[in-house]
C-alpha cells in the first residue's frame, strides 16, 4: 500500500510471517548451545509473545531446548556478525515449526548481537540496515507489540504508526531505544536536525546548479564570439 511517498510494509516476507505468527510454532530469543556434524541445539531464553494461548505455550519443549537436524545446508537468514555458519555460543532469534515430530527452521534463523530481547539488533547500525531487519529488531524488542511499520520508497526512512524511528541521514552511532521512540520530544529533535541537513543540502545543490548554468552560459558565449570572428575573417 502507498500513501504519498510512504508505503506500508505488508508484503508476504519472512518478517511479516513472523509478526503475524504464520507458519511457526515457536518464536524465541536464545543461543546456540551445541553444534555437531549432524545437528545443533538452540536453547530459548525468552519467548516472543506472538500468541500467548495455552495451546501455543503447550507447543514449547519442557526443557526449552530445540534440536535442529542438519539435513540441509542450514545458514543464517541474516547474521549481525556476517557469519556463514552456525556456531556454538551464537545469539539468535529463531522461528521454528514442528513437522513430523522434528523441529525445523520456519521463518528464519537470525544471528543477533546479544540475547537480550529488549535491546538486541539484527544488523549493525553502521552497516545500512534494511527495513526488514529494523522491523524485526523493534518487534522483538517490544515482545511483539510493535507491528505497524511503514517506510519511504527507497527504504532509507522507517516509521512506526507514522512516527519516524529510523532515518539513514541521522548522525547516530546506534538505534533509537524503545524509550526514545516513545519520547515525542526526542523524535522532534531528530527530525529538526535532519531538516537542517536537508536545508543545507538543498542550498548547496541550488548553488551548484547555478554555477553549472553559469559555466554553460559562458562557454556558449565564447563559442558564439568565436563563430562571429571566423565569419568576419571570411568577409
Average confidence (pLDDT) over 91-102: 95
Q: So what's the pLDDT on residue 94?
A: 98
Residue 209 to residue 192: CA distance in whole angstroms: 26
CATH class name, domain 2-165: mainly beta
Q: How confident is the model at residue 2 (pLDDT cuts 50, 70, 90)?
A: very low
- pTM given for the model: 0.78
Residues in the chain: 235
Q: So what's the pLDDT on residue 54?
A: 85
Cell for 200? 543545507
Q: Domain-by-domain residue ranges, the chain?
A: 2-165, 183-235
Count of beta carbons in the 10 Å neighbourhood of residue 99 = 10
> Does residue 197 carry a pLDDT above 60?
no
Average confidence (pLDDT) over 65-89: 92
Cell for 113? 548481537
Q: So what's the pLDDT on residue 1?
A: 42
Strands 157-160 and 78-79, sheet pairing: unpaired
Count of beta carbons in the 10 Å neighbourhood of residue 136 = 29
Residue 214 to residue 228: CA distance in whole angstroms: 21
Instruction: Give the DSSP per-residue string, the chain.
Output: -EETTEEE--S--HHHHHHTT-S-SEEEEEEEEEE-SSEEEEEEEEE--S---HHHHHTS-SS-EEEEE-SS----SEETT--SS--TT-EEEEEEEEETTEEEEEEEEEEES-S-TTT--SS-GGG---HHHHHHHHHHHTTT----EEEETTSSEEEETTEEEEETTS--SSPPPHHHHH-HHHHHHHHHHHHHHHHHHHHHHHHHHHHHHHHHHHHHHHHHHHHHHHHHHH-
Average confidence (pLDDT) over 195-219: 58
Amino acid at each position: 500500500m502507498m500513501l504519498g511517498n510512504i508505503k506500508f510494509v505488508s508484503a508476504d516476507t519472512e518478517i511479516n510471517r513472523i509478526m503475524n505468527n504464520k507458519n511457526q510454532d515457536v518464536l524465541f530469543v536464545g543461543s546456540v548451545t551445541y553444534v555437531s556434524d549432524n545437528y545443533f541445539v538452540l536453547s530459548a531464553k525468552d519467548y516472543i509473545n506472538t500468541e500467548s494461548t495455552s495451546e501455543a505455550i503447550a507447543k514449547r519443549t519442557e526443557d526449552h531446548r530445540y534440536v535442529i537436524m542438519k539435513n540441509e545446508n542450514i545458514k543464517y537468514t541474516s547474521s549481525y556478525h556476517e557469519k556463514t555458519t552456525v556456531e556454538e555460543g551464537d545469539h539468535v532469534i529463531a522461528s521454528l515449526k514442528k513437522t513430523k515430530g522434528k523441529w525445523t527452521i520456519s521463518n528464519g534463523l537470525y544471528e543477533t548481537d546479544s540475547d537480550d530481547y529488549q535491546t538486541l539488533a539484527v544488523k549493525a547500525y553502521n552497516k545500512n540496515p534494511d527495513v526488514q531487519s529494523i522491523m524485526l529488531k523493534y518487534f522483538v524488542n517490544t515482545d511483539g507489540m510493535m507491528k505497524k511499520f511503514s517506510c519511504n520508497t527507497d527504504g532509507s526512512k522507517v516509521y512506526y504508526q507514522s512516527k519516524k524511528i529510523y532515518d539513514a541521514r541521522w548522525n547516530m552511532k546506534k538505534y533509537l531505544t524503545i524509550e526514545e521512540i516513545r519520547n515525542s520530544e526526542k523524535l522532534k529533535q531528530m527530525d529538526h536536525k535532519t531538516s537542517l541537513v536537508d536545508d543545507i543540502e538543498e542550498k548547496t545543490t541550488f548553488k551548484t546548479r547555478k554555477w553549472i548554468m553559469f559555466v554553460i552560459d559562458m562557454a556558449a558565449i565564447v563559442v558564439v564570439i568565436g563563430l562571429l570572428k571566423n565569419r568576419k575573417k571570411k568577409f
